[in-house]
């Protein structure tokens, strides 16, 4: 209810702001009409206010008046108004790009605020693009802003990039990264791509110079294994880590817009780590792959009909979404949270096992009474050729009591249940091994609303 109201207030404010801008433009035009003579006394390339606002970057040799004019002419499309997009957009707005388009279909949640510095507690529930554009406008009202309240898809990305000078990939999903890169190759737009997860980040400038620099597929021809593709929602991230990467994206964007591409071409991948050792490392990239799916001369993508003929299935290419494991177990191998709650009450003294397969940090935040923590990452480690894996809780294999698995939303629990059966722990079907359907999320929604859930 309150989230909806907040969203509506921000939308109304955005509308009001847009009307004010239209009014200002209309008044300006009327004033110009009245005087019938443009201000011919002004003989300098930038507007008077620009010399003031951008003074400290104008005096840099790497920017200067020419650089400022290039920024002013630029149309930048920034995809993802989250942890990377917020600092990147704020700095690009501050630097005075001419037109900034921000694309994101999500709304602001409280759990975003520790890292997504363009949003505020008061704007929780609003569209991220509206919230971020408002923050940018407060910084620099001279920039033209477009807020697109959609996620990028194969259908909208072509038109979004049609008049772009530069694109920034500030998203957090593997499939979307390939889509954005492919679209930039097709549209002839350079791309500043960054990623951050947990305590690490990476950054590269792709398709730059346009038509010569490597694309995302040249650098990462194969997607990461599906199991390792965690978005920040599940994977966790430190605010300053993603902030560093977003700020660096803005820096690279300003360099691309104001300076000629380096010659000879030296594409690099910058790696950042906050987990010890050197913070920054630079890896030289090989350049374009002659057999690249997207950017090589005989690329499948280029030969397709662009939007209709040539787009691959990105989700499938990246190993499917998290929904892929939805049907690992049969219905009779699963119990609802209500059924498990009843069983928990009736099974006294307790005879069954409940294994919580979330990572330790999640488990420590709160779990169902009596659950034993077996982190999913440990169950992925290869088991020794003979005997049972060491991560099994002691006594589990020897026992005959039923085993219930629970996880965050009910995917990993199925995988581990299947694994325990493969290991023979179901004693040829005489011992129940199954999961609690819907995981801790369902438990919170339907049994115990006080359960902390992230
Ligand atoms: Zn390529």
Whichever domain contains 64, its CATH number is 3.40.50.720
User: Is 295 known to sit in a ligand binding site?
Assistant: yes
Is residue 170 among the annotated active site residues? Answer: no
- The whole-angstrom separation of Cα 356 and Cα 411 is 12
The CA 440 to ligand 1 mean position distance, Å, reads 41
Domain CATH for 354: 3.40.250.10
Q: Which of 86, 136, 184, 232 is catalytic?
A: 232
Q: How far is the CA of 166 from the centre of ligand 1 (A)?
A: 17
pLDDT tens digits along 129-182: 999 999 999 999 999 999 999 999 988 999 999 999 999 999 988 889 999 999
Give the distance (Å) from ligand 1 centre to CA of residue 265. 15
Residues 153 and 287 in one domain: yes
Residue-level length of the chain? 454
453 part of a folded domain: no
CA 426–ligand 1 middle distance (angstroms): 48
Could you tell me the distance, in angstroms and rounded to a whole number, from the CA of residue 311 to the centre of ligand 1? 14
Q: What letter does residue 309 receive in the DSSP assignment?
A: T
Residue 86 assigned ligand-binding role: no
**What pLDDT digit, counting tens, does each position of 107-133 carry?**
999 999 999 999 999 999 999 999 999
| Domain end marker among 293, 320, 347 | 320
Residue 112 among known ligand-binding residues = yes
Answer yes or no: is 454 within a domain: no
Residue 36 has a pLDDT of 52
Q: How far is the CA of 65 from the centre of ligand 1 (A)?
A: 34
Q: Same domain, yes or no, for 373 and 264?
A: no
Task: Answer yes or no: do 30 and 163 share one domain.
Answer: yes
On whether both 395 and 299 belong to a single domain, the answer is no
Task: Judge whether 54 lies within some domain.
Answer: yes
Residue span of the structural domain in which 397 resides: 324-446
Together in a domain, 312 and 363: no
Same domain, 368 and 259: no
- 270 and 385 housed in the same domain: no
Q: Is 286 annotated as belonging to a binding site?
A: no
Q: Record the tokens describing residue 84, joined without a space.
A: 């990377």
pLDDT digits (tens, 9 = 90+) for 390-403: 899 999 999 999 99
Q: Which residue, 274, 296, 320, sits at the end of a domain?
A: 320
- Residue range 22-41: average pLDDT? 67
Q: How many domains does the chain have?
A: 2
Q: Is residue 323 pLDDT above 50, yes or no?
A: no
Give yes or no: 407 in active site.
yes
Neighbours of 91 (CB within 10 A): 20
> Catalytic one among 86, 136, 318, 407?
407
The verdict on 256 and 341 lying in the same domain is no
State yes or no: 172 annotated in a binding site: yes
Transcribe 235-289 into DSSP letters.
H-B-HHHHHHHHHHHHHHHHHHHHSPPPSS---EEEEEESSSS-SEEEEE-----
- Alpha carbon of 220 to ligand 1 centroid (Å): 9
291 lies in the same domain as 423 = no
One domain, residues 76 and 220: yes
Same domain? 181 vs 223: yes
Across the beta sheet with 99-103, the strand order is 144-148, 99-103, 75-79, 166-169, 191-197, 200-206, 268-273, 280-284
Cα dist from 48 to 18, 38, 431, whole Å: 24, 15, 80
Distance (Å, whole) CA 257 – CA 303:
29
Name the domain boundary from 277, 300, 320: 320
Please check if 431 is assigned to a binding site: no
Looking at the fold, whether 275 and 341 belong to one and the same domain comes out as: no
pLDDT value, residue 376 = 87
Give tens-digit pLDDT for 331-383: 899 999 999 999 999 998 889 999 999 988 889 989 999 999 999 888 877 65
Alpha carbon dihedral 182, 186, 191, 195, in 10-degree steps, equals: -10
Q: Is 114 annotated as a binding residue?
A: yes
Identify whether 451 is part of a domain. no
Q: Helix axis angle, 128-139 relative to 2-35, nearest 10°? A: 40
């Amino acid at each position: 209810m309150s989230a909806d109201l907040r969203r509506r207030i921000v939308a109304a404010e955005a509308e009001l702001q847009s009307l004010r801008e239209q009014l200002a433009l209309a008044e300006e035009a009327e004033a110009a009409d009245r005087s019938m003579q443009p201000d011919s006394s002004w003989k300098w390339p930038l507007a008077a206010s620009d010399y003031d606002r951008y003074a400290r970057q104008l005096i840099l040799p790497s920017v200067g008046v020419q650089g400022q004019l290039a920024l002013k002419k630029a149309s930048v499309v920034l995809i993802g108004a989250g942890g990377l997009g917020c600092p990147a957009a704020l700095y690009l707005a501050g630097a005075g790009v001419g037109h900034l388009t921000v694309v994101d279909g999500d709304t602001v949640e409280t759990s975003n605020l520790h890292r997504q510095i363009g949003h505020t507690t008061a704007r929780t529930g609003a569209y991220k693009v509206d919230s971020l554009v408002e923050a940018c406008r407060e910084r620099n009202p001279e920039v033209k802003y477009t807020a697109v309240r959609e996620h990028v898809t194969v259908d909208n990305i072509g038109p979004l990039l049609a008049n772009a000078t530069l694109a920034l990939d500030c998203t957090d999903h593997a499939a979307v990264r390939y889509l954005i890169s492919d679209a930039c190759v097709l549209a002839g737009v350079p791309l500043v791509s960054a990623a951050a997860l947990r305590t690490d980040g990476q950054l590269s400038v792709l398709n730059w110079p346009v038509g010569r620099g490597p694309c995302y597929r040249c650098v990462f021809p194969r997607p990461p294994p599906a199991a390792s593709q965690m978005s920040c929602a599940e994977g966790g991230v430190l605010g300053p880590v993603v902030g560093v990467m977003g700020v660096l994206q803005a820096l690279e964007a300003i360099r691309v817009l104001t300076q000629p591409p380096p010659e000879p071409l030296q594409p690099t991948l910058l790696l950042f780590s906050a987990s010890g050792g050197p913070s920054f490392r630079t890896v030289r990239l090989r350049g374009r792959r002659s057999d690249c799916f997207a950017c090589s001369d005989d690329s499948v993508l280029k030969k397709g009909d662009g939007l209709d003929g040539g787009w691959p299935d990105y989700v499938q290419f990246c190993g499917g979404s998290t929904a892929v494991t939805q049907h690992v177990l049969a219905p009779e191998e699963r119990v609802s949270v209500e059924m498990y709650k009843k069983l928990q009450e009736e099974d006294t003294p307790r005879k069954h096992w409940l294994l919580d397969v979330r990572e330790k940090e999640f488990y420590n935040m709160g779990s169902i009474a009596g659950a034993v923590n077996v982190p999913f990452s440990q169950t992925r480690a290869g088991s020794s050729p003979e005997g049972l894996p060491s991560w099994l809780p002691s006594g589990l294999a020897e026992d005959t009591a039923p085993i219930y698995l629970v996880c965050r939303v009910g995917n990993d629990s199925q995988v581990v249940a299947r694994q325990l059966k493969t290991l023979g722990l179901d004693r040829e079907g005489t011992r129940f091994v199954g999961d609690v359907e819907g995981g801790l999320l369902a438990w919170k929604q339907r049994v115990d609303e006080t359960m902390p859930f992230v």
